[in-house]
Amino acid sequence: MKMKYIAVAILFIGLVGLAGALVPPPPANQLLGIYDTTVNNFNETICRGCHTSGLPDRHHILTGPPTYEYGCQDCHPTLPGGGILIDRNCIACHNGSAFYGDPGTIAGKPHHNTTQAQSLACEFCHGSVIDNTNDGHYIPTYAQSLVTPDTSFKVKNATTGKKWGGCEACHEPSAIGPGVPLTIVANVDSHHSEIVGVTQGISCLTCHNTTSGTINIRSCEQCHGVKSLHNIQYNYNGTKGVLGYGHLGANWDCNGCHAWYVAGSAPLEAEKVPALSSLTPSRFEAGKAAVVTLTGSNFLQSGYSTVLVVQGTSYTPATLTDTSLTVNIPALAAGVHETKVMVGTASSKLTSLTVYTKATILKATLRSGTITIIGSGLGTIPSVNPQYYVTIKKTDGTTYYSDSITSWKGSQIKAKNTRAAIGDTVTVTRADGTGSASKTISKR
């Protein structure tokens, strides 16, 4: 009898553990890809999931050659009283509307106005969780059958509201997401608000058969093909057999899409999409080699090679496990370098390495309203509004542009600033935007 009690107790504990571990979506966990919400709901934490450190450098580069796309005041306009606006909320500019600080600056929504997005090369940024629309990937041509997923769902439990047999089994809206307090929106909102009207070549009829609003799964498969769907699983080695972490590994995951009509195997199952979580350092000095460490999952898969691709060049890892890898990166030129992990033909989402030009201020002194700056790597005088490239920051945090630049020769800059005082911080930004340096102002 005692043994029976022990067995029952063990079974109960096991079931409790399983209940905690096997809680399924919806909403789907947000461990892969871009968070299922609209850009207006993003915050800096979510943005930095792809856009790592070095953001000031990347923005400053836009003010220099060859594009000269923006000027300093487009992002940092002068405020009443003379100070300049510094707002690090990404969505203040990247919301599709005019920047509140300067209505003439419209940066647009950041994701679907790129060259790749406009050519429907979705995988470039999103990785292999999605397909390029016009790449010839497999889309079934046979008539929809019992095993074919529905665009919404096939079966719904009237008591619990649980759905099976389509996208909505997992991808449903929620007030907050798992682990991140952000709204998860419905598929209709994420596609209409972020794609249609923003991405060239996409119209209502891209997804909908007619203007009546009906939708066919074959239209969905233009971007969400069989192969990409059948190779999405976060941390495959750690979650296979555990429901709710992707599209593989447990009958429940299969039933979510196919209801109870499940094929004997998943067609086109191959290398799993690598999930890239972080890279360190993500910013380093131009002209110097660096050792970069990346973390994530699905990096090590039997039968497939793993490389880090930086601006089109592949690097073999020096060390490799399923959740981390290190790569020896040779000296790179200053700029933003597109970066992703490739396992076989499967790609992680896009991120970047920022490579900066080292600038140093050795000394900054003040006399009669003139700041004399001595250093190295400060570059040449900017061709337009050079006074904006030398700023001072007061002890209360207010930042001001210089009044004028008297001289900018090699390692020495002289800037006029009537507001400057001993103890303020002076910052010089290179004309090409690839580097900057700061120093506390002292007596001459």
- pLDDT by residue (tens digit) across 74-129? 999 999 989 999 998 888 888 878 899 988 888 777 788 788 988 899 999 999 99
Rg from Cα positions in the chain: 27
Domains in the chain, start-ordered, CATH in brackets?
24-270 (no CATH), 275-356 (2.60.40.10), 360-443 (2.60.40.10)
Query: What is the DSSP-derived secondary structure letter of residue 129?
Result: G
399 is written with which tokens?
Answer: 């930042």
Who contacts 117 (Cβ-Cβ below 8 Å, separation ≥6)? Answer: 111, 125, 199
Q: What is the pLDDT of residue 178?
A: 61
| Highest mean pLDDT of the ranges 104-113, 177-186, 332-341 | 332-341
Residue type, 95: N
8 is written with which tokens?
Answer: 């029952």
Least confident span in 203-217, 297-311, 338-352, 381-395: 203-217
∠360-283-30 over CA atoms, to 5°? Answer: 150
**pLDDT tens across 361-417, in order?**
999 999 999 999 999 999 999 999 999 999 999 999 999 999 999 999 879 999 999
Q: What is the pLDDT of residue 201?
A: 76
Residue 9 has pLDDT above 60, yes or no: no
- Distance in angstroms (rounded) separating the CA atoms of residues 165 and 156: 9
Who contacts 24 (Cβ-Cβ below 8 Å, separation ≥6)? Answer: 170, 243, 244, 252, 256
3 is written with which tokens?
Answer: 């043994």
10-28 mean pLDDT:
46
Q: What is the pLDDT of residue 45?
A: 79
Strands 313-315 and 306-310: antiparallel
Q: What is the pLDDT of residue 440?
A: 98
pTM metric for this prediction = 0.86
Q: Are 232 and 129 in contact (CB under 8 A)?
A: yes
Indicate the average pLDDT of the chain: 87
Q: What is the pLDDT of residue 350?
A: 95
For residues 183 and 398, the model is more confident at 398
Burial (CB count within 10 angstroms: exposed 0-12, middle 13-18, buried 19+), residue 347: buried
Q: Are 72 and 63 in contact (CB under 8 A)?
A: yes
Percent of residues in the chain assigned helix, strand, coil, to nearest 5: 20, 25, 55
Query: What is the DSSP-derived secondary structure letter of residue 331?
Result: -
222 is written with which tokens?
Answer: 């233009």
Query: What is the DSSP-derived secondary structure letter of residue 241?
Result: T
